């Protein structure tokens, strides 16, 4: 299968600290690392490492960070012909603080991601499509309107969207906070809705009714950054391959759990054989 991902591309600056700061507080003793990230790029790489061919559509700046942000996508043979270099806006940046348990705080400076416009999109998007909300909502809405295949929308970060977008989605993925934000609107379209529950796993709904649930394997979390995006890529690949709902949830939960055991967003994303091994074990 070839999946198109329309989404954000960032360079993550990750500070691993003894604990996360409170409001107005400074915490010292951290170490700093830089990793490719962005929800769109993370989901694209997750899907590619799990067996899909992937096309990425997005935007980076004309700066020294762009090459770093795209490095792992290129290494995975993802088609980045649809990624435009912006002459004015910088490459998107995420500032991430992580504590020893893997909990994090994230602030995103969108940069060139907010310059992705409907004009950059193909007039017709063939095959499966994955989207998130780290681009302008108007661009996400346009992409959904041009899609002719399976559409997965990760409604993160939570933002107002049209009911038409929700109705068009074949699969919606949200965490508990995002599910509370959207409420009953999530189930208004009749497509499948997945609510992720962190270490407690995930639940799959159809027309508001629970049809499957799964728990992740027990792991020692190091950094949860990218785990949710791994889940999105994994659940999309699993369902497109024809896995039954419960098996698809187990597959995605296992992929997300593995991602949480390693630092960084994209460097932590698992390969297909790793997911199958932990499920077999």
In a domain? residue 204 = yes
Q: Is residue 107 part of a domain?
A: no
Residue 73 · residue 41 · CB < 8 Å: yes
Residue 163 placed within a domain: yes
Which pTM value belongs to this model? Answer: 0.94
Q: What CATH number has the domain bearing residue 63?
A: 3.40.1190.20
Position 191 in a domain? yes
**30: in domain:** no
Q: What total of structural domains would you count in the chain?
A: 1
Question: What angle in degrees, to the nearest 10, is found between the helix axes of 64-75 and 39-49?
Answer: 20
Tokens of 9: 């591309």
pLDDT band at 50 (very low <50, low <70, confident <90, very high): very high
Name the band, by pLDDT with cuts 50, 70 and 90, for residue 190. Answer: confident
Domain assignment of residue 216, given as a range: 2-10+37-91+113-280
Per the domain annotation, does 153 fall within a domain? Answer: yes
Query: For the residues 242-264, what does the mean pLDDT come to?
Result: 95
pLDDT score recorded for residue 148: 96
Catalytic center residues: 229
Residue 266 lies inside a defined structural domain of this protein: yes
pLDDT at 224 over 90: no
Mean pLDDT of 119-123: 97
In a domain, 15, yes or no: no
Helices 39-49 and 227-240, axial angle in degrees (round to 10): 50
Report whether 152 contacts 128 (CB < 8 A). yes
- Per-residue pLDDT of 238-251, as tens digits, reads 999 999 999 999 99
């Amino acid at each position: 299968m070839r999946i198109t991902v329309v989404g954000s591309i960032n360079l993550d600056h990750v500070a691993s600290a003894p604990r996360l700061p409170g409001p107005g507080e400074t915490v010292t003793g951290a170490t700093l690392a830089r990793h490719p990230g962005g929800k769109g790029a993370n989901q694209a790489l997750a899907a590619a490492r799990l067996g899909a061919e992937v096309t990425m559509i997005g935007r980076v700046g004309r700066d020294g960070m762009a090459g770093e942000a795209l490095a792992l996508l290129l290494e995975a043979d993802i088609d980045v012909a649809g990624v435009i270099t912006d002459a004015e806006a910088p490459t998107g940046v995420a500032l991430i603080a992580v504590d020893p348990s893997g909990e994090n705080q994230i602030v995103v400076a969108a940069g060139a991601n907010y310059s992705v416009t409907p004009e950059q999109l193909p007039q017709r998007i063939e095959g499966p499509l994955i989207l998130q909300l780290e681009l302008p909502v108007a661009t996400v809405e346009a992409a959904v309107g041009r899609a002719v295949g399976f559409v997965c929308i990760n409604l993160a970060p939570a933002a107002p969207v049209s009911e038409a977008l929700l109705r068009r989605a074949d699969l919606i993925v949200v965490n508990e906070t995002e599910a509370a934000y959207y409420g009953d609107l999530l189930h208004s379209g009749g497509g499948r809705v997945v609510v992720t529950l962190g270490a407690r796993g995930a639940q799959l709904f159809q027309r508001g009714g629970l049809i499957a649930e799964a728990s992740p394997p027990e792991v020692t979390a190091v950094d949860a950054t990218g785990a949710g995006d791994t889940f999105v890529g994994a659940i999309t690949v699993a369902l497109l391959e024809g896995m039954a709902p419960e098996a698809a949830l187990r597959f995605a939960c296992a992929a997300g759990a593995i991602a949480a055991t390693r630092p960084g967003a994209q460097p932590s994303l698992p390969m297909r054989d790793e997911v199958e091994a932990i499920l077999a074990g």
